[in-house]
Structure 1
């Protein structure tokens, strides 16, 4: 049984790695893959995100919600980081409204993407495999939960509203944790 679990976990981890390094269909995915390959653990989570234009909206949102200092702290943290295109899926004007008028809601959305501890892809996929078909429940620093499952060889996160985000790149190292790139902004409610 342990050998079968190890084989399954290894296969899922390899699939995640393969998905993260496949030639992407659009420019954002290409930027995300390039970031994964080029990032080093020399900067904290905020500095790593600032170093890649793919996350300019996320960095602006973290700044507006006054979370920069927290995410630059000791951690460790795991961040499921939405790309600019992920924020672009929100209804028009949402990001501007949140960053200028409703920073409290913005902070709750952003902390819904952060988990205490450094959880790499192999650890996450092992937890998903152990949890079975129901998926693995992740508690965020914002107090909400996400459900992680594997579908079509990749990790999928489901939020409280039933929306899903695909993990498109994994294990982007930072000095205070790890970043996993996602293609949709998750909502706590």
Structure 2
């Protein structure tokens, strides 16, 4: 399976998410200056306690290095509960070494180039009459809409996923925690 060069570079950044557990700390305000001691995307995901499946998947796909690069990146980060909603056997099948390409494609479908805050995303949705299309590093699109004050992301197959925690700033981008997993079409 081949990926655009941009996707492969981003995939390399995802590699540092591998190994360890995750615990989200207090979200920083989007757009504020990031201290050099602030953790990167991978370190933040490892520290949350709710992204263990994502961290394991990033490790299995060898993407931790990519997401540790300067970026910036925006990651829509599914929780362990989100992964548990997938059909039985999906995660274990994706984690098998022979499925590394497919796993990588799923993971980079959750990554966008640049640091996109919730305010920026909301403004784009409003400017585009209620929905905004996002290009992912997987070369596929996501569609963002608002449901009340909640940002809802729809994947290529029409599955809607809510952003449950926005604007977790890191030294190399921003994380938006989601209650679902995007699967490429």
Both proteins in one fold, TM over 0.5: yes
Structure 2 match to 1:65:
61
Flag as ranges the 4+ runs of structure 1 deviating above 2 A.
34-41
* Root mean square deviation, CA, Å: 1.8
Q: Provide the rounded CA distance (Å) in 2 between the counterparts of 1:62 and 1:35.
A: 17
2:24/2:49 contact within 8 Å kept: no
Q: Taking structure 1 as reference, are residues 152 and 38 closer, same or farther at Cα in structure 2, changes over 3 Å only?
A: closer
The number of residues matched between the two structures is 156
- Which is worse superposed, 37-46 or 90-99? 37-46
1:68 deviates by 0.5
1:36/1:171 contact within 8 Å kept: no
Q: Provide the rounded CA distance (Å) in 1 between the counterparts of 2:92 and 2:74.
A: 26
Structure 1 match to 2:106:
109
Q: Provide the rounded CA distance (Å) in 2 between the counterparts of 1:124 and 1:38.
A: 17
Q: Taking structure 1 as reference, are residues 159 and 108 closer, same or farther at Cα in structure 2, changes over 3 Å only?
A: same
TM-score computed with the length of structure 1 as normaliser: 0.78
User: Which residues of structure 2 form unaligned runs of 5+?
Assistant: 1-21, 29-33
CA offsets 1:138-180 (integer angstroms, 9 cap, x no match): 0001100000000132110010000010000001011000000
Q: What pairs with 1:51-130 in structure 2 (closer than 5 Å)?
A: 51-100=47-96, 101-130=98-127
1:77/1:118 contact within 8 Å kept: yes
Residue 129 of structure 2 corresponds to residue 140 of structure 1 = no
Structure 1 match to 2:7:
none
Which structure has the larger Rg over C-alpha atoms? 1
Q: What pairs with 1:8-23 in structure 2 (closer than 5 Å)?
A: none
Q: Taking structure 1 as reference, are residues 36 and 170 closer, same or farther at Cα in structure 2, changes over 3 Å only?
A: farther
TM-score computed with the length of structure 2 as normaliser: 0.80
User: Which residues of structure 1 form unaligned runs of 5+?
Assistant: 1-31
